[in-house]
Amino acid sequence: MAAPDPVHPQLLHTVLDARDIRPLAEFYREFLGLVYRPGDEPPASGPDNADWLVLTQPDGRRALAFQLDEKHVAPTWPQPGVPQQLHLDLTVPDRAALGAARDRALELGARVLFDRTEDADEPLYVFADPAGHPFCVFVG
């Protein structure tokens, strides 16, 4: 008897932990041109006590989520201590866009961990987002 077809779950989104998820969500929303899932926007009035936020692509496809962790400790990568465990890779189409992405990332609160834009094969930056999670932007 043939085995039933295995279930293949779908990648839904990647979730980043932080103590203060609104600024982190705002960073990625602005940097990647994402939108809040309906209902996850900052409240018009009153306290913003969200403990879970989802950002989608403009067409509604899931992109990233943010999970409140009041004890979150930022990764110390590449130094030993607190490992990054997972990170995001982002792409831009060319070197000019890479420079523009750097400027915008810094303006939004990221910091540069590595500048490898002189690498002929794969120019890239490694940034830390406002919560300290490393991510890469490269031409691809």
Partner 1 sequence: MVTRDIVFNSCNDACNTITTDRRVEGAPVYRCTGCDSEWIELDERTTPGVPDPEPAAPVPAEAPTAAPPAPEPATAAVAEAPADSVAPVQLPPGAVVPQLMQTVLDARDIRQLAEFYRAFLDLRYRPGHAPPFHGADDAEWLVLTHPDGTSALAFRADDQHVAPTWPKKGVPPQVHIDLSVPDLPSLNAACQRAVSLGARILADRATHSDDSLVILADPAGHPFCIVVA
* Footprint on this chain of partner 1 (rule: CB under 8 A): 4, 6-17, 29-39, 41-42, 44, 51-52, 54, 56, 60, 63-65, 67-70, 72-73, 75, 80, 82-93, 97, 100-101, 104, 133, 137, 140
Tokens of residue 108, six digits: 């939004």
In the bound state with partner 1, the residue whose beta carbon lies nearer, of 64 and 120, is 64
In the bound state with partner 1, the residue whose beta carbon lies nearer, of 83 and 116, is 83
Length of the chain in terms of residues written: 140
At its nearest, how many Å lie between partner 1 and the CB of residue 118? Answer: 20
Three-state DSSP state, 52: strand
In the bound state with partner 1, the residue whose beta carbon lies nearer, of 7 and 118, is 7
Half-sphere exposure of 43 toward its Cβ, with a 13 Å CA cutoff?
A: 6
Amino acid at 62: R
Three-state DSSP state, 26: helix
